[in-house]
């Protein structure tokens, strides 16, 4: 996509350089979406990859992922053997149906802030109890769940000048058994529904995305399929179901319970 309407590119090297962000700016963490879609309202690009954030920080309390970390780096880094949930990194990245060239450029933070219903990194953060650190335009910091940042189809709660700094995944989630199922109209088509599940000491957390305008992570104190399906479906309001060329609302409503039962069966198989 030719960005002939862009007048300038800014490459800040510290947080102070972000204070000039204004309406009409597009903040880039990788920029693949900006290069793919028309953006006639964009007048300036602010490339935050020049801020020099370390991609990944592995610590005893979990993993910190810089918003500018590429999907390729997330997938191909080695992690502690006890962090079994890191299998989701590859599973979710593959649900993007993007080429390896995109993996090398697209970033974790960019995928989240794009806020598409089928955003793979959004789904991953939802089930792994992620905390998102946001640098506010007024100089303060704020920490949010992913569903507090991604609030609708291509809609976030971020204001002008707000920047997603990093994503923290706690060790308690990373050491848990996980499972994933997805459905699409075509065998290799874009995800119409994505369901992830993570075992907890008293049950499961199930994340529903792709089929809904934003992710829904539902903790359930049970592993009984009927109980879990009923609890998850009850948490999704009628106006939260998403419809587009990749799935109608009735189809998505019908397929999500099937996917939930699938991930529960997968978790049960791993536990046996």
pLDDT band at 55 (very low <50, low <70, confident <90, very high): very high
pTM of the predicted model as reported, rounded to 2 decimal places: 0.93
* Distance in angstroms (rounded) separating the CA atoms of residues 138 and 141: 9
Q: What's the number of CA atoms in the CB half-sphere (13 Å) around residue 74?
A: 35
In this structure, what token pair is assigned to residue 141?
């910091």
Query: What confidence tens digit (pLDDT) does each residue in 192-224 have?
Result: 999 999 999 999 999 999 999 999 999 999 999
The pLDDT of 66-84, averaged and rounded, is 96
pLDDT at 101: 73
* Distance in angstroms (rounded) separating the CA atoms of residues 31 and 131: 23
3-state secondary structure of 229: helix
pLDDT at 209: 95
pLDDT at 265: 97
pLDDT band at 173 (very low <50, low <70, confident <90, very high): very high
pLDDT at 228: 98
* Short-list 86, 45, 47, CA closest to 65: 86
Q: Evaluate if residue 83 carries a pLDDT over 80.
A: yes
pLDDT at 26: 85
Q: Contact 260/206 with Cβ under 8 angstroms? A: yes
pLDDT at 39: 67
* Distance in angstroms (rounded) separating the CA atoms of residues 179 and 247: 22
* Distance in angstroms (rounded) separating the CA atoms of residues 221 and 227: 9
Q: Evaluate if residue 45 carries a pLDDT over 80.
A: yes
pLDDT at 76: 95
pLDDT at 91: 92
3-state secondary structure of 75: helix
In this structure, what token pair is assigned to residue 96?
């993007």
The pLDDT of 241-258, averaged and rounded, is 96
Q: Evaluate if residue 22 carries a pLDDT over 80.
A: yes
More confidently predicted of 40 and 133? 133
In this structure, what token pair is assigned to residue 182?
């997805």
Phi-psi map region of 43: left, alpha, beta (phi>0 left; psi -120 to 50 alpha): alpha
Q: 42: burial class by Cβ within 10 Å (0-12, 13-18, 19+)? A: middle
pLDDT band at 272 (very low <50, low <70, confident <90, very high): very low
pLDDT at 2: 64
Q: Contact 183/192 with Cβ under 8 angstroms? A: yes
pLDDT at 98: 64
Query: What confidence tens digit (pLDDT) does each residue in 126-165 have?
Result: 999 999 999 999 999 999 999 999 999 999 999 999 999 9
What percent of the chain has a predicted confidence (pLDDT) above 70? 93
Q: Evaluate if residue 271 carries a pLDDT over 60.
A: no
Average pLDDT taken over every residue of the chain: 91
pLDDT band at 270 (very low <50, low <70, confident <90, very high): low
* Distance in angstroms (rounded) separating the CA atoms of residues 200 and 31: 36
Q: At what angle do helices 120-127 and 87-95 cross, to 10 degrees?
A: 150
């Amino acid at each position: 996509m030719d960005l002939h309407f862009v007048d300038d590119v800014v490459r800040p090297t510290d947080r102070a350089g972000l204070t000039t962000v204004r309406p009409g700016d597009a903040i880039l963490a990788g920029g693949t979406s900006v290069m793919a879609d028309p953006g006639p309202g964009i007048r300036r690009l602010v490339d935050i990859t020049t801020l020099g954030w370390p991609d990944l920080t592995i610590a005893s309390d979990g993993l910190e992922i810089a918003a500018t970390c590429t999907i390729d780096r997330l997938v191909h880094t080695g992690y502690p053997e006890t962090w079994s949930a890191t299998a989701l990194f590859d599973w979710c990245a593959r649900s993007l149906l993007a080429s390896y060239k995109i993996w090398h450029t697209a970033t974790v933070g960019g995928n989240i802030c794009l806020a598409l219903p089928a955003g793979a990194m959004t789904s991953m953060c939802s089930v792994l109890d992620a905390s998102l650190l946001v640098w506010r335009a007024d100089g303060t910091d704020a920490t949010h769940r992913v569903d507090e940042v991604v609030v609708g189809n291509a809609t976030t709660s971020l204001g002008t000048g707000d920047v997603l700094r990093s994503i923290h995944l706690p060790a308690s989630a990373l050491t848990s058994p996980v499972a994933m199922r997805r459905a699409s109209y075509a065998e290799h088509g874009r995800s119409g529904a994505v369901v992830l599940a993570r075992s907890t000491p008293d049950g499961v957390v199930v994340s529903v995305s792709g089929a809904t305008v934003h992710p829904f992570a539902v903790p359930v104190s049970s592993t009984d399929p009927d109980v879990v399906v009923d609890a998850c479906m009850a948490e999704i309001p009628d106006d939260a179901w998403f419809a587009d060329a990749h799935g109608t609302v009735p189809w998505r409503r019908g397929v999500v319970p099937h996917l939930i039962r699938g991930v529960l069966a997968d978790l049960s198989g791993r536990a046996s």
